[in-house]
Amino acid sequence: MYVINLKPITYLACFKKSVKMKSLFTLVFACTAAGSIAQVPEFVNDLSTGPDFGYASPMREVVMYNNRLVSFIGIPSGNGIITTDGTATGTKPVDLAISTAQIHNPVVLNNKVYYIDQPNTSSAGWHNFLCYTDGINFSGGGRVNEISDSLELYAMADQHSYDKKALVAMNGKLYFFATENFYNGFELYSSDGTRAGTKKVKDINPHPYTNAVNQTTYELATINGKLIFPADDDTHGNELWISDGTEAGTQILADLNTILGVGSNPSNLIPFGNKIIFNAAAVPFDTAIWMTDGTAAGTVLLKDSLINMSDYAELNGKLYFYARAIPSNKEGIYETDGTAAGTRKVWEAEPLGSYLSYRPKPAWLTAFKGRLYFSAYSTATGQELWQSDGTPSGTKIFMDLDNSLTSTSPAQMVVAGTRMFFKAVRWKNSSIVNVDIWSTDGTVANTVRHDLPNASGQLAFQEDYTLMGSPIVPFGKYILFNNSYNTGQSPSALWRMEINPVGITDPGQHTASFEIYPNPTSDYINIKSAGLQSATIYTQDGKKLMETKSNHIDVRSLSPGMYIIEAVANDGTIQQTKFNKK
């Protein structure tokens, strides 16, 4: 492992022009040419500097809206909404006067951002309202409007869950559970964003003062233009329901536990293609993994005795997820192809040692370049970064980021461009030593720690243990994040770093040479290499366009412009450069 200090340094890519062909570029992993790494974190804006902000919290629950990011932050008086285009002048508040206990669950629909607002004013009590911002005054101070003063929304116990939604958009409308008076309980509603267009879909549980949902299993998901959710009609118990947005089209999907009034309590609804994978307890299997395609016949058991599904990722047509087996209570990674025969355990987490009072569970399962990455614990290394190819033998520790410390606790993995960025909290003897941003291209040699300039040994990333810190957000050619290592900055200080892996390589380890020609080109790119494993073409903002094992690549379908080509040698060497498509 080595560290990149994010300021101009010498890097190891040499550019040589051929005598025979003017447009031939030779890219050599040697150590002679000078250049600079563009991954220098830039300060964007300290969101706490305004008179209404005070000491603001990091961003949370970020959504894209009109080529901007919209995010919630906490402020001394309650909460606020901010927007940014990644620049200092374009980072401004939408509304800072929201005196609320919570704002959460943002949804973009019909050119507006909708969310659930829980005011903490004495007149409103602790009720939840459906609100929106129209974005007209994104230059500062736009008003947030309540769609209905009398309509109270049902909120989940974990209101900031990124996987479970209490508010979703489907077929041009919002769906949620709400009540207009507690006599009728909480039932399914829809809204087109207007007071007149906000209506009850169906009274699922007709009994007075009885809710159709509960906080333990409440969540909404959509597949094939239909809404899937757990609900209790006071006859079947809490079971899986489906709705097309009409009263007639809202009905129970499957009564998995047929004991009268005892439901299967569906939970952890995970989308997988045009299906939903979920937990449910049906007799006699107790809690198990089920799948539905939105039909009763297509709701089937995949594997019994598995609970607490979480942290999922798709790879090569399969869904991977964490789960805990019962009654053994052993945690691990499981895979499914949507069939009972194809649902199996891939890897089992190390059991809790008798000398440990706490073992962090595996987390942050992320698919990247044909592999799964996640954070996992072992007694030998502590909590570190692991990798899996989807097989038991191919699941192992990827890298001990700092073997002199107890753990680095990698978290918040996010793929941006051709690299995966993540945060690592370094511990030693139960104390934080530092918090850093790392990135990898999928090789140990090119897994690097990004040091912020002039950090003076202080935290490079502000950690918030309640919300797992602020997200690392891909945005165009940058990642955006919060940090507050400078004195006087709040945890909401916004920084950006360019996604540019060119020049990141390990000194002296590789001598592989690639020749790429012609450049510019109108039809084909040729790669001359002693041992080419693969080549991948990306847009300049990191979107993958094509991957091939051939050294003769047809690029006629590409629009004119600049592109990035990444060549991987048989020894694992990775080289990138740009080419111009005429």
Q: Where do the structural domains in the chain lie, given as residue ranges?
A: 7-36+506-581, 163-190+206-304
Beta bridge partners of 377: 383
State pLDDT tens for residues 351-395: 754 333 344 567 789 999 999 999 998 888 888 999 999 999 999
Are 71 and 58 in contact, with CB atoms under 8 Å apart?
no
Q: What amino acid occupies position 404?
A: S
Mean pLDDT, residues 194-210: 90
Question: Would you call the peptide bond into 327 cis, given omega within 30 degrees of 0 as the criterion?
Answer: yes
State pLDDT tens for residues 95-125: 655 555 567 788 888 888 888 877 655 444 4
Question: How far, in Å, are 217, 414, 574 from residue 565 at the CA level?
Answer: 46, 21, 10
State pLDDT tens for residues 263-304: 999 999 999 999 999 999 987 668 899 999 999 999 999 999
Least confident of 78-82, 104-108, 313-317, 329-333: 78-82
Mean pLDDT, residues 159-174: 77
Residue 390's CB is within 10 A of a number of other CB atoms, namely: 18
Alpha carbons 436 and 417: distance in angstroms, whole number: 20
Mean pLDDT, residues 202-219: 87
pLDDT value of position 506:
35
State pLDDT tens for residues 20-42: 222 222 232 222 222 223 355 67
163: left (phi over 0), alpha (psi -120 to 50) or beta: alpha
What CATH code would you report for 7-36+506-581?
Answer: 2.60.40
pLDDT value of position 434:
66
Instruction: Examine the pLDDT at 453 and tell me if it is beyond 60.
Output: no
State pLDDT tens for residues 507-531: 333 344 577 888 889 999 988 876 7
State pLDDT tens for residues 420-452: 988 887 666 666 666 778 889 998 888 888 765
Least confident of 10-19, 141-150, 456-465: 10-19
pLDDT value of position 454:
43
Q: Which residue has the higher pLDDT, 505 or 136?
A: 136
